[in-house]
């Protein structure tokens, strides 16, 4: 190993290193771009994927758009419109806040962004390292990411088959669509059929969306659950023990609108089903936990899939109890059945 003199990393290299954490594969780009559209209050989001995301990822929305003067900042590291003080860092309501996604993505792809705010006479477009120029685009933002990892051969080699990458993208979009019922989504992943999900406001509309994503059998069997404790609410749909599954494919958990994969949550849910499922079988669930912003820390990992709870045991207990009570009322214990 050579240890020479110390020098600051060139900006492009710092961005590529940051991209290593945030942009693992095409699906990560989809997640970051769609989250930006949601943060921009879009109620219509369209996604087009070509070449399993290697050739093209396009996300367009009808959100607030970006001020033309801010366009270069949107592609700069640590530049964000979502956070301006340490106090706010403890109370994050938006999905993004790190100001890292766009510069990271643009450091490992050919990125073009078009955006127009409602009060602007025209749209503007920006491409990495170039000045903004006027463009034609309705209100909102469209980001096109081409040739992902063209300059990072090692990363490109790590990508899996088209089918696998397409599946990761579909899973990501399914999660996002379940996280925001009031947003209409449309996506087209290569030649796979287009998915159209109109905004779902009423309960039947929500169930329709859940059916499209989780399968109609999940919806048919699902038990609805709704409980509150102090300022923590949980609601959603869980499968009865009889509708157990081989896979973990219908396991969605959202906290304050954010997709979360968390060991504490998994453990709490498993505990509620303890002794009710045959060995190795999985429950299905689509659950939404809402709690005050200052009770969780979302600044744990760059991808923001993990959180830290201020009152972890309380949250764990509430989830287990809510599920147990729902399962109990739906399934009175059979005579001779030893419930745990």
Instruction: Check residue 326 for interaction with ligand ADP (CB under 6 A).
Output: no
64 binds ligand ADP (CB under 6 A): yes
**Pick 92 or 219: Cβ nearer Mg ion:** 92
Contact letters for ligand ADP, residues 42-61 (x by CB under 6 A): -------------------x
Question: With contact defined as beta carbons under 8 Å apart, do 273 and 266 qualify?
Answer: no
Which one of residues 22, 29, 40, 291 is an interface residue with ligand ADP (CB under 6 A)? 40
Binding status of residue 283 toward ligand ADP by CB under 6 A: no
Size of residue set near ligand ADP by CB under 6 A: 21
Write the binding mask 236 to 275 for ligand ADP: x where contact by CB under 6 A, - elsewhere.
----------------------------------------
Of 101-160, which residues contact Mg ion (CB under 5 A)?
A: 101
**Tally of CB atoms within 10 A around 301:** 11
Q: Which residues between 71 and 90 bind ligand ADP (CB under 6 A)?
A: 74, 80-82
* Pairing of β 56-61 and β 44-50: antiparallel
Determine if 36 is a binding residue for ligand ADP (CB under 6 A).
Answer: yes
What is the contact mask toward Mg ion in residues 79 to 108, using x (rule: CB under 5 A)?
-----------------x----x-------
101 binds ligand ADP (CB under 6 A): yes
Pick the piece of the chain touching Mg ion (CB under 5 A) from 34-42, 43-51, 122-130, 137-145.
34-42
Residues in binding contact with Mg ion, number by CB under 5 A: 3
Nearer to Mg ion, 103 or 236 (CB): 103
What is each CA distance from 223 to 219, 237, 240, 320, 322, in whole angstroms? 8, 5, 7, 15, 12
Question: How many angstroms separate the CA atoms of 320 and 340, rounded?
Answer: 13
Phi, psi of 262 (to 5 degrees): -140, 140
For residue 300, what are the contacts with CB-CB under 8 A and spacing of at least 6? Answer: 306, 307, 308
Q: Which residues contact 166 (CB under 8 A, 6 or more apart)?
A: 49, 52, 53, 189, 190, 192
Minimum CB–partner distance for residue 139 and Mg ion (Å): 19
Pick between residue 19 and residue 265 the one whose CB is nearest to Mg ion. 19
Instruction: Take residue 331 and report the two structure tokens written for it.
Output: 């399934």
Min separation Cβ 166 and ligand ADP, Å: 23
Choose among 71, 94, 97, 69: nearest CA to 83.
97
Site membership for Mg ion, residue 296 (CB under 5 A): no
256 binds, among Mg ion, ligand ADP, none (CB under 5 to 8 A by kind): none
Which residue lies nearest ligand ADP, judged by its C-beta?
A: 96
Cβ distance to ligand ADP smaller for residue 59 or 197 = 59
Q: Which residue is nearest to Mg ion (CB)?
A: 96
The minimum distance between CB 127 and Mg ion, in angstroms, equals 19
Instruction: Single out the segment in contact with ligand ADP by CB under 6 A; choices: 100-108, 176-184, 242-250, 294-302.
Output: 100-108
Is 132 a residue that touches ligand ADP (CB under 6 A)?
A: no
> What residues line the site for ligand ADP (CB under 6 A)?
32, 36-37, 40, 61, 63-66, 74, 80-82, 96-102, 141
């Amino acid at each position: 190993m050579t240890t020479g003199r110390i020098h600051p990393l060139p900006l492009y290299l710092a961005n590529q290193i940051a991209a290593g954490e945030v942009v693992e594969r095409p699906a990560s780009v989809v997640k970051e771009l769609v989250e930006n559209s949601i943060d921009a209050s879009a109620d219509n989001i369209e996604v087009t994927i070509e070449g399993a995301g290697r050739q093209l990822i396009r996300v367009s929305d009808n959100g607030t758009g970006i001020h033309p003067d801010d366009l270069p900042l949107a592609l700069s590291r640590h530049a964000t419109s979502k956070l301006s003080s340490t106090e706010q860092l403890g109370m994050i309501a938006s999905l993004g806040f790190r100001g890292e996604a766009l510069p990271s993505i643009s450091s490992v792809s050919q990125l073009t962004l078009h955006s127009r705010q409602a009060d602007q006479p025209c749209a503007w477009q920006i491409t990495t390292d170039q000045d903004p120029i006027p463009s034609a685009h309705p209100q909102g933002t469209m980001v096109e990411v081409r040739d992902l990892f063209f300059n990072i051969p090692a990363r490109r080699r790590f990508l899996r088959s088209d089918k696998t990458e397409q599946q990761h993208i579909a899973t990501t979009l399914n999660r996002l669509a379940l996280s925001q019922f009031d947003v209409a989504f449309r996506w087209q992943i290569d030649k796979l059929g287009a998915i159209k999900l109109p905004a779902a406001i009423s309960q039947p509309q929500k169930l329709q969306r859940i059916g499209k994503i989780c399968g109609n059998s999940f919806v048919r069997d699902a038990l609805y659950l709704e409980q509150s404790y102090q300022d923590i609410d949980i609601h959603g749909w869980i499968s009865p023990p009889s509708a157990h599954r081989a896979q973990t494919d219908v396991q969605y958990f959202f906290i304050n609108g954010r997709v979360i994969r968390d060991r504490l949550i998994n453990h709490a849910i498993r505990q509620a089903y303890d002794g009710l499922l045959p060995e190795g079988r999985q429950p299905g669930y689509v659950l939404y936990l809402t709690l005050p912003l200052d009770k969780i820390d979302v600044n744990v990992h760059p991808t923001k899939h993990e959180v830290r709870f201020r009152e972890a045991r309380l949250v764990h207990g509430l989830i287990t109890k809510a599920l147990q009570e729902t399962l109990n009322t739906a399934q009175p214990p059979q005579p001779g059945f030893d419930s745990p």
